[in-house]
Amino acid sequence: MLSVIKSIALQGLNGILVNIEVDISSGLPSWDIIGLPDVSVKESKERVRTAIKNLGINLLSRKYVINLSPANVKKIGSVFDLAMAIGILQASSEINEDLKLDDTIFIGELSLDGEVEGVNGVLPMCIEALKFGIKRVIVPKKNLVEASCVEGLKVIGVSSLKETMDYLNGKIEITQEKFDSKKIFGVNEKYNIDFSEVKGQKATKRALEIAVARKS
């Protein structure tokens, strides 16, 4: 059974849409991740396998091949864990095989007990995802706030693999939280230091005023 799940990689601040293709076939039992993974991606294998096992799902001893396409771009980091796990679960029919996930990307690292951990760079990933026509992103709950800053995306925050599975299978509903810019950016509006503490130096203060008045 083959399944294709989407995730996103960052090169600098440019996003690259990554198709995570999972194939389970008969043959000598093995796990291979191909498509230029670096060491941290290769280690995903153990995290994903253990996380699924600890959900109480017994994976069959088969030949598992996970391909990260495009295969010529080096993949770094643990952001693909969640997508790989979902791919494996779909390929082994734990998640509805007919589910259309073409416009959804998965971002997140897994811990051994199946929790979804936060990752770095979620904001640029979401901004870039929009350019690829992605409609829905599934992100770790810890990164929910930064992801919600991006308008035009349905952002779903998940805290565990089980929750993600139940959501995809339609067992539970997760609604998108409304983004409140005031709450996030309003925090820093109070400063302890004030210009009135600077005595004299009129010319300097004037120059600073001009500097901030002209810069975006």
Instruction: Give contact residues for another protein (rule: CB under 8 A).
Output: 11-14, 74, 191, 194-201, 203-205, 207, 209-216
Question: 124, 10 in Cβ contact below 8 A?
Answer: yes
Minimum CB–partner distance for residue 34 and another protein (Å): 18
Nearest distance in Å: CB 128, another protein? 13
Question: At closest approach, how far in Å is the CB of 38 from another protein?
Answer: 11
Taking the least distance from each CB to another protein, the nearer of 71 and 207 is 207
Closest CB 194 distance from another protein, rounded Å: 5
φ, ψ dihedrals at 130, nearest 5°: -55, -40
Given the complex with another protein, which of 181 and 195 has the nearer CB atom? 195
Pinpoint the alpha helices (H) of the chain. Answer: 39-42, 44-53, 81-91, 122-131, 144-148, 161-168, 181-185, 202-214
Q: Tell me how far, at minimum, the Cβ of 214 lies from another protein, in Å.
A: 4
Q: Which is nearer to another protein, 184 or 210 (CB)?
A: 210
**Residue number with CB closer to another protein (65 or 130):** 130
Which one, 172 or 208, has the nearer CB to another protein?
Answer: 208
Q: Are strands 109-110 and 116-117 parallel, antiparallel or unpaired?
A: antiparallel
> d(Cα 35, Cα 23) in Å, to the nearest integer?
14
Q: Are 107 and 128 within 8 A, CB to CB? A: no
Strand arrangement, sheet containing 154-158:
30-34, 63-69, 14-25, 2-11, 104-106, 136-140, 154-158
